[in-house]
Amino acid sequence: MSMGLALALLAMTTLAVALLLVPLILRRRAAASRDAYNLAVYRDQLAEIERDVGRGVLDPADAEAAKGEIARRILALAPARAAEAASRAPLAVATIAVMLLPIAAWTLYWDLGSPGTPDEPHAARGDAAHLDVAAAVKQLDAHLASHPDDLKGWLLLARTDLDVGRYDKAVEAYRRAADLSGQNPEIVGDWAEAQVLAAGGTVTPAAQQAFTTALADSDSAPRSRYYLALADLQAGDTKKALQEWVDLEAGSPADAAWLPMLRERIAGTAKSAGIDPATLKTSSGAPRRAASDQPAPPAVGMPPGAAVEEVEKATANASPSQRQAMIEGMVAKLAARLEKEPDDVAGWTQLGRSYMVLNQPEKAQDAYARAAKLKPGDIALKEQYADAIIAAAGSDDPPEAAAALLREVLAVEPQNEEALWYVGLAEAAAGRPDAARDLWTRLLDQLPQDSADRREVAERLAGLKPAPPK
């Protein structure tokens, strides 16, 4: 190796060490900035859903489901992760470790390096990124097998499993982490949420117990209170769930990021139960805080989901054909990117939604199928996927695939109006009038008097024939 090359590599190594140390020193500030940005994006997404409802491209029922998913993400945010607190090493130790990295690297390169080896063509690398992730997980598994008391390792494994949709494995990893942390409330809350995802959105008794323990962590307590109330709703106690959510609303700061979502959930649940949300009060009898008391959220950059709307705004003066061409071009770029990044569940969901806006339900069905495979426990995604299947079929009676998805929705949200309607249609078409009658009767109880939807459901009920004798 020439002296010039050695000096150049030494300079590059020094720069790399500096780049590692700066974010290490500023890690707390960066983490806080990421959480603040995520909250702002979620707020914009909530506003975007409202705009889509106003424009008529998103049904109110779909909007409610989407808001529920955004709600889960907002409630999961916390100013500081307990895992970091449990495993944080002194800065000096971390700095020494970073400084030792280049020394080890130079030592290995001196013995093993081959600067003359040609680079591997990009086309030959194939799925190297995915193989690297799989290899890293295998290494982590091997490490944990020999170091079963490594709290940080179990948390890393749990979050990785959660991100890729392996919810059952995430549950086990979080359980180990919770035990090692001495039942740290925040980690127990993460474990509880993983159990809900693994159960397809159902708050199981074990998850309820874990959420109860997690209430001790003040930062993530709102998430636990939300899920505990959801458990009451799933158990059929709508009034208790509403009361708990109203109390959570009353005890939240006026600028809490989750308030808009929580109010939407209260309004939707109250409507389903035939209750005027304005009449709800706290447990102490105090009236609910007016929504106008909440400060307006700060404006942030456009989230990815607003792409179609922004194109429409930018082409307001263009001809319909020009506007359509620009939107289709944007959607085509998104589809091409996803073929290279197939694990982007948010991207597939957005693609499905975009195809629905473009009235291409067959393509939307395929996009939602890819998203649902990556995130099988997402109830809102199941509902969107079912809508695409029904739209692609072009028939009033839902195909069995859509009916199966909506049955899963009903298992988590037994008062979901769209699921009650379509599953009722499926039961009637299958010759099970009693099952259809039960579903439509539950739906009828939720619909406003003198509404067109109520009249249609009533007519369907009247037209049901008795089940044939056995």
**Which one, of 342, 366, 372, lies nearest residue 352 by Cα?**
366
Residue 348 lies in a domain: yes
Average pLDDT over residues 441-458: 85
Q: How many domains does the chain have?
A: 1
Which pLDDT tens digit goes with each residue over 279-322?
Answer: 999 888 888 865 544 433 333 333 333 444 444 454 455 555 55
Give the pLDDT confidence score for residue 156 in this predicted structure. 83
What are the beta bridge partners of residue 281? 287
Is 365 contained in some domain? yes
Torsion sign, CA atoms 231, 237, 238, 242: negative
Tokens of 348: 């597939």
Cβ(231)–Cβ(208) below 8 Å: yes
Instruction: Flag whether pLDDT at 391 surpasses 60.
Output: yes
Is residue 457 domain-resident? yes
Quick: pLDDT tens for 108-127: 455 445 454 444 444 444 44
Alpha-carbon distance of 281 to 263, in angstroms, equals: 13
- Among 252-256, 273-277, 374-378, the range scoring the smallest mean pLDDT is 252-256
Give the C-alpha separation, 449 to 452, whole Å. 9
Band (pLDDT 50/70/90 cuts) for residue 38 is: low
Res 369 pLDDT > 80: yes
CATH label of the domain that carries residue 453: 1.25.40.10
How many other CB atoms sit within 10 Å of the CB of residue 150? 18
* pTM for the full predicted model: 0.43
Q: Residue 400 sits in which domain range?
A: 342-463
Q: pLDDT-derived band of residue 357, with 50, 70 and 90 as boundaries?
A: confident
Task: Answer yes or no: is 422 within a domain.
Answer: yes
Q: Which pLDDT band holds residue 341 (cuts at 50, 70, 90)?
A: confident
The residue whose two tokens read 């086309």 is: 123
User: Residue 215: pLDDT band by 50, 70, 90 thresholds?
Assistant: very high
Query: Cα separation of 448 and 318, whole Å?
Result: 41
DSSP string, 70-134: HHHHHHH--SS-HHHHHHPPPHHHHHHHHHHHHHHHHHHHHHH--TTSPPPPGGGTTTHHHHHHH
* 44 is a domain residue: no
Q: Residue 292 domain-assigned?
A: no
Residue 387 inside a domain? The answer is yes
Residue 178 burial (C-beta neighbours within 10 Å; 0-12, 13-18, 19+): buried
In a domain? residue 369: yes
